[in-house]
Amino acid sequence: MGNTTFTGPIRSGKTYGSNPVFTTLPIDKRIGITVLRSDPVSLTTASANSTIPGGILPAGSQVVDILVDVITAFNATQNNRISIGKTGANGQFLGSTGGSGPIAATTAGRYSLASGAAPGIATATQLTNCFNTGTADIEWNVTLTCTESTGSAATTPTSGAATVTLLYVQTA
């Protein structure tokens, strides 16, 4: 099965018809924008304390969700934090630099920006950054920070696996 590439945005919905509901609403209320998914980024113990490229977000995109699936908990003694952002601005969408991001990868499970699986999962600034990514295409990335204690040197866990998937709509 092949892939098809669009330059976007992809919109769908009924733009015609004799049904009065469809003819009285403006066209922008009768159609919707397709939610797109990035290729998942896999994190393993080899990913510890490094930044992994996630992909390109087209200009004017809106991040609608970030799924972090911790399949096997990372086992550095204290901090195993996942942050997601654009290149040069780690944590712009979720988390922060310095190992204090909200996704603690020490517990297996799904964490989601939309569901608020972790209290205070994103700040108001991060949500604003997700709402509109700007006027140029951007590269986004994932960082896994592992330390033995807050503020201590980086360490490598002996177990752990996670997948990060970004969901977005292209609005421009």
* Residue ranges of domains in the chain, CATH in brackets: 7-34 (no CATH), 38-170 (2.60.120)
Contact 148, 76 (CB under 8 A): yes
Q: What pLDDT sits at residue 89?
A: 62
Contact 152, 130 (CB under 8 A): no
Q: What pLDDT sits at residue 171?
A: 81
Amino acid code (one letter) for 37? R
Task: From first to last of the 172 residues of the chain, give the pLDDT tens digit.
Answer: 566 677 767 777 666 655 555 566 666 666 778 888 899 999 988 888 888 899 999 888 899 888 889 999 888 767 788 888 887 665 678 775 444 456 778 888 888 876 655 544 677 777 788 888 888 898 998 888 887 666 667 778 888 999 999 999 988 7
pTM of the model: 0.79
Helix (H, G, I), strand (E, B) or coil at 137: coil
Task: Please name which of 123, 134, 76 lies closest in space to residue 95, comparing C-alpha atoms.
Answer: 123
Helices (H), the chain: 20-24, 124-131
Q: What pLDDT sits at residue 163?
A: 93
Q: Return the CA Rg of the chain.
A: 19
